[in-house]
Amino acid sequence: MKNVILLTIDALRKDALGCYGNKKGLSPFIDSLADKCIKFTRGQASGPYTQASFPGILTSSYFLDYGQPKGLSPQRTLISEPLSKAGIVTAAFHSNPYISAFLGWDRSWDVFYDSMEEEVGDRIPYVTGNVINSKLTEWLSSFTKEEAYKPFFLWFHYMDVHEPYMPERKYVDMVDPSLTISQDEAYSLFKDTLLKRDVSDVSKVELLKKLYEIHVREVDTYTEEIFASMEKLGVLKDSVVIITNDHGDEFNEHGGLSHDDKMYSELIDIPLLIYGAGTTGACDKLVSNVDIPPTIISLFGLEPVEEFKGHPLLPIENYPRRGCFGEAIDQRSKRGGDIEKDSYFYREEDLKIIYRANLDRWEMYDLKEDPQELNNIVDISPAAENLKSKLKPRVRIWLS
């Protein structure tokens, strides 16, 4: 039985990676893994920000399944729970407050580090990837000392691509040595442009994107470091590694910045790579991050978890062709989010429909013909009514 390792990278756009077509050389190490991986080319997040997406990644359920979340609902089955029952060791290392022990995400983990007791500042409000790597390597070194150590599931999460985009000089130099920007200037850009969602100055939006891309390069170095550590410890050869994100980031593709309650590709499209599973190549089936927990269960040879909404991604030939769904609420207009300002998407093949329930507004896009989602065809497409009928049963199910 192999170990299973899940690496999630916060806010990492799929199109920032070279193995998904980016030409800027931001991810040389991750790109070098691609030909040793199964690469899913049409992966979808179940939501456009952490709180909406992580229920898919770790519980194979949707954000609003139980109404407005106040922490992790006891009705959800966290991936650590069935694994723990089966005797699989579980460990987690991350620094995102939205998936912290305080909110209930530490259920049934043998080791759960969420950094909430660490001192962080406004400018770098998370524990950085090199610290995550250090703690993770320390645990792995100790755990694998025994020659016959038990199989384990390890999840770790890097926050470093996430705003406020304050990269160190050494990473700036890796991407653009000619860029001169002080930490004060970068933080002002965050406060005065990004936080205000002010896209009026194109040059500032471009600079934000450049700083974002530098962080992508930074995270690639952390990924390389941890793979080297796992190889040195003899863990890598006995493990399957899944690499993905929780959501992307917007740079004025649809009039905004950061990651709000929008359902467009820059936020919803996910990179999804599976390393060490014995097969390689690209898979163009439409898949969702709700499929990740069932895949982990299957890799350990365990019986399917009835509560999980997804389907195992492997073997690929058994994965059904089906639609993908996601949902979100407006998190900015009201503290804790406003469930009355809810939005949804449903995608089948290259057709995607979006519904904003509080506005009763529909959008639809043909992603093959219109990958930037600029031409709303909901009023002219013969497929619109069928897609609406697929999405409507998911809308506001907490009211039923």
Per DSSP, what are the bridge partners of residue 155? 6, 92
> For the chain, which residues score pLDDT lower than 70?
400
346 found inside a domain? no
The residue count for the chain: 400
pLDDT reported for residue 333: 85
Task: Give the domain CATH number at 93.
Answer: 3.40.720.10
pLDDT reported for residue 70: 86
Measured in degrees and rounded to the nearest 5, phi and psi for residue 394 equal: -90, -15
336 found inside a domain? no
Measured in degrees and rounded to the nearest 5, phi and psi for residue 111 equal: -130, 130
pLDDT reported for residue 129: 97
Which pair of tokens denotes residue 348? 């089948």
pLDDT reported for residue 205: 98
Beta strands in the chain (DSSP E): 3-9, 37-44, 89-93, 111-113, 152-158, 239-245, 250-251, 257-258, 269-275, 281-288, 324-330, 338-348, 351-356, 361-366
360 found inside a domain? no
Question: Any idea of the CA torsion for 257, 206, 120, 221, to the nearest 10 degrees?
Answer: 120
What is the C-alpha to C-alpha distance for residues 34 and 25, in angstroms, rounded to an integer? 14
pLDDT reported for residue 28: 98
370 found inside a domain? no
What is the C-alpha to C-alpha distance for residues 100 and 113, in angstroms, rounded to an integer? 9
What is the C-alpha to C-alpha distance for residues 104 and 327, in angstroms, rounded to an integer? 21
294 found inside a domain? yes
399 found inside a domain? no
Domain that holds residue 25: 3-320
170 found inside a domain? yes
Q: How far is CA 139 from CA 134, 203, 224, 246, in A?
A: 9, 44, 18, 24
Which pair of tokens denotes residue 310? 């997804």
* Residue-wise burial string across 129-157, b where 16 or more C-beta atoms lie within 10 A, e elsewhere: bebbbbebbebbeebbeeeeeebbbbbbb
Q: Is 301 left (phi over 0), alpha (psi -120 to 50) or beta?
A: left
pLDDT reported for residue 334: 84
pLDDT reported for residue 372: 98
pLDDT reported for residue 391: 97
Number of domains composing the chain: 1
381 found inside a domain? no
Specify whether the CB–CB gap between 290 and 372 falls below 8 A: no
pLDDT reported for residue 48: 98
In angstroms, the first-to-last Cα distance of the chain is 43
